[in-house]
Structure 1
């Protein structure tokens, strides 16, 4: 059986013209329609192929104008396909054309592995105008459909590398490129055929002037990437705005997926001129070669760390020094696939805040649970390969939200302070001011180096942290230091915390800073937002319940070092060793009045046999009290209960001999709203989505 030719492209994008030229060159398009109200010379489609593709899309709950994300071929349609191929496959070279094949191609190639593909594309404005006239679609609907089809075309091109032609070219250039494409797939005209020039007519192209249509930036960027894939334009060559630095160590399986997710076309709204990707290998046994990295695009290059260490910190700093962009994107874990809008939204964050932006992304784990848990239940590379192969992520990376869960660092939701971001962006000057990653974090994988960099960045007062809404990185399972299998009783996190304590002189704690939000919310990420909303609602409900009865526990434990006073909030003070304490003296001081509403308020203090009510009339009030406690157990507790309408956020304890000083501070600002007391958001940040608007969106989703 001769290898067929399959034409791929969006509706109204020159597929009929390309098929007609090939037909005149001698390729057999069996029973092709040569007359059509919307095509002067017919659409050159075999109705049986169209019917099969339509049946397949319908089976997968889709249609040509609402194509499904994933297409599964059932056995009955496979048999129908095989019967049809038997009818079409003659001794001569044959082919077929149907735009729907962009979404059904996998099943056709399953039966026709030697098939040769040709692709065609057209300017989004021209396609949208043509669909408006033919189908009555709005221009925005047409543009949206254009993006769906042409993102699929580009993804297939990256996988199969077939020739592409552009239907917008002038007649002479277009025909020359079609002939070159035919030669590239070894499809010369037959003895009785022609080169197609007698079929082509400029009248076949309708709606050539799309200047009146406002085309979105994402569509224009995708069109430019397609032109480059077709060899019709080249990168402009100026200094890129973003340098994305990706660290890799023994990631030959995972790294190609990560790099695929950084290619122009997968990343939406960018062309490749705006960014470069630097892959720094940190001593892998079998690293990707420079050629393998460069194959992902002209803006990709590979470096080898001259002094590889178990920690990636030195490698990341080395690569950052070799980068050219004014913005540095730090991707310390090369096993993380990026969602498609990260680079565009990162650029938007710097448009909003200039050099003061700190663009952050949340982390997720591929699979059914955080990989620290799923690996213990049998989730491995084989299971993940099957999951990713069936997910369709190459065509639409947002689908990974359906096949992943929040990482441990994101378990508290989008509205909680962030401990780390595995893909963050900051200005080069800020990165240099911070001194880059601290190479003293020398544990395999870096320990808490990434947490430390973020914490130090958040201490800079001018920096504006922004979470890129609807974006994430998706961790692939591999033998990493934090998610890999650990010996029984061995906790990597405990080692990380011990090193952090030794280097910074204090325990690690999550910076209490909530970032702003920037960007829109893809449908696939809505469940993540809803989950975060539920966590936020539960936290607010908990605070509301505690607003009338806030419990703060004070007590002491015994250990090998003696007795320690401690609070629920984690503050610990050492009490000198000696006789058991039967009485405790405390000083309660009210902080700045700007943080409280209203005065007066009362704290209720209870022990096993006492209840004291202490009133505060104004800021700066100090109250002394003496409490009897029972030291007859390992833990002795004293409860402080607030009867006010606010919630203390922190208790600071200090000690002088047996005297403890308790300062109630850090209370959230509150205001009257809808008859109750609710938190007032801070000043609105230009270019971000305020929390109030996000919550409003969530409420709509919940409805």
Structure 2
């Protein structure tokens, strides 16, 4: 038997989903035993990676998942695989020692996960959890593109240094980890294109969810975190008064909103893409 009504946080990478997941965890929502550095439940992240890979995709190339979703036999097999994992010992990777009887300890506990990949794999999760509550976080595309491009450049530098130190060994053994680090994010423009894909997908998902979905805007959240997290608490069924919410959200920095505006280069980048930004309701 599967539990019902998980809270699923979706949205583009670097859009504030980690921030939101951390706040939910502090407020008492269980988001997993083994968490990555970005508040991602490794168990669900692994499953989402597997789903995208079955369609020949990845988080930087998520569109192929639509081919899997549109092919009912493939979708049925994917559902059965997910259900088997969720009902078996593998789920202890999420529940930990409290889940010796798969999912039974959950009871009325609020639980869920955050993984940007769920933006595209969500229909499969809704097949299993039709009463799920979904929160979608948005953020200005230029800030996301810059954050992704900077992170990728740093990561690629580390990857190159590691490869050069061990290059001689690869004459004898194969490399077991990735050599090329997310080539699609090699430029700010390509990262911006990926933001467009995720935002379009996320909004489409929310349009079909009705009252089961809650949309948040990162910049609005930072400007008034008490009001915005109160909306989240009500949506999730969390018991959290104003004082509790202030304590949970007090560390948030409103200066992080629209960070690109402090850079002439990024402002120019935004101006050059004003039509594309405005298509999503954003000013350059």
TM value normalised by structure 1: 0.29
Deviation at 1:109, TM superposition (A): 0.2
Contact 1:6–1:97 (8 Å) recurs in 2: yes
Match of 2:57 in 1: 62
2:101 aligned with 1:44, yes or no? no
Task: Find the partner of 2:124 among 90, 104, 107.
Answer: 107
Unmatched runs of 5 consecutive residues or more in structure 1: 37-42, 228-703
Q: Which has the higher contact order (CA 8 A, sep 6+)?
A: 2
Mapped to 2, the partners of 1:164 and 1:207 lie a distance apart of 17
Task: Find the partner of 1:201 among 247, 251, 273.
Answer: 251
2:234 aligned with 1:183, yes or no? yes
Q: Which moved more, 1:81-90 or 1:94-103?
A: 81-90
Task: Find the partner of 1:53 among 48, 53, 56.
Answer: 48
Task: Find the partner of 2:68 among 72, 96, 112.
Answer: 72
Deviations 1:214-250 (A, max 9, x none): 121343124417x9xxxxxxxxxxxxxxxxxxxxxxx
Deviation at 1:176, TM superposition (A): 1.3
Q: 1:203 to 1:85 in 2, by over 3 A?
A: farther
Contact 2:29–2:110 (8 Å) recurs in 1: yes
Match of 1:23 in 2: 25
Contact 2:49–2:58 (8 Å) recurs in 1: yes
Mapped to 2, the partners of 1:205 and 1:7 lie a distance apart of 23
SS at match of 1:28: coil
Give runs of ≥4 in structure 1 deviating > 6 Å. Answer: none
Task: Find the partner of 1:164 among 208, 215, 218.
Answer: 215
2:200 aligned with 1:151, yes or no? yes
Q: 1:174 to 1:96 in 2, by over 3 A?
A: same
SS at match of 2:227: helix
Deviation at 1:175, TM superposition (A): 3.4
Mapped to 1, the partners of 2:128 and 2:48 lie a distance apart of 15
Give runs of aligned pairs for residues 257-268 of structure 1, distance below 5 A: none
Deviation at 1:204, TM superposition (A): 9.8
Contact 2:223–2:254 (8 Å) recurs in 1: no
Deviation at 1:207, TM superposition (A): 8.1
Contact 1:122–1:168 (8 Å) recurs in 2: yes
Deviation at 1:2, TM superposition (A): 4.0
Contact 1:32–1:44 (8 Å) recurs in 2: no
Contact 1:22–1:196 (8 Å) recurs in 2: no
Contact 1:71–1:103 (8 Å) recurs in 2: no
Deviation at 1:158, TM superposition (A): 1.2
Mapped to 1, the partners of 2:59 and 2:255 lie a distance apart of 22
Deviation at 1:170, TM superposition (A): 6.2
Mapped to 2, the partners of 1:204 and 1:44 lie a distance apart of 21
Match of 1:93 in 2: 110
Deviations 1:408-430 (A, max 9, x none): xxxxxxxxxxxxxxxxxxxxxxx
* Aligned-residue RMSD, C-alpha: 2.8
Structure with higher strand content: 1
Deviation at 1:174, TM superposition (A): 3.0
Structure with higher helix content: 2
TM value normalised by structure 2: 0.68
Q: 1:188 to 1:71 in 2, by over 3 A?
A: farther
2:10 aligned with 1:8, yes or no? yes
Unmatched runs of 5 consecutive residues or more in structure 2: 96-102, 154-184
Count how many residue pairs are aligned between Structure 1 and Structure 2. 217
Contact 1:124–1:219 (8 Å) recurs in 2: no
Deviations 1:532-578 (A, max 9, x none): xxxxxxxxxxxxxxxxxxxxxxxxxxxxxxxxxxxxxxxxxxxxxxx
SS at match of 1:163: strand
Contact 2:222–2:257 (8 Å) recurs in 1: no
Deviations 1:574-612 (A, max 9, x none): xxxxxxxxxxxxxxxxxxxxxxxxxxxxxxxxxxxxxxx
SS at match of 1:61: coil
Give runs of aligned pairs for residues 111-510 of structure 1, distance below 5 A: 111-136=128-153, 137=185, 138-161=187-210, 162-169=213-220, 171-189=222-240, 194-195=244-245, 197-198=247-248, 201-202=251-252, 208-211=258-261, 212-213=265-266, 214-215=269-270, 216-224=273-281
Bigger Rg, which one: 1
Mapped to 1, the partners of 2:149 and 2:42 lie a distance apart of 24
Deviation at 1:208, TM superposition (A): 4.4
Mapped to 1, the partners of 2:15 and 2:255 lie a distance apart of 9
Deviation at 1:155, TM superposition (A): 0.8
Deviation at 1:146, TM superposition (A): 0.4
Deviation at 1:120, TM superposition (A): 0.6
Deviation at 1:63, TM superposition (A): 0.8
Deviation at 1:83, TM superposition (A): 3.6
Mapped to 1, the partners of 2:222 and 2:188 lie a distance apart of 26
Contact 1:12–1:130 (8 Å) recurs in 2: yes
Deviation at 1:156, TM superposition (A): 1.1
Mapped to 2, the partners of 1:141 and 1:224 lie a distance apart of 20
Mapped to 2, the partners of 1:197 and 1:84 lie a distance apart of 37
Q: 1:57 to 1:30 in 2, by over 3 A?
A: same
Mapped to 1, the partners of 2:136 and 2:221 lie a distance apart of 18
Q: Which moved more, 1:162-171 or 1:137-146?
A: 162-171
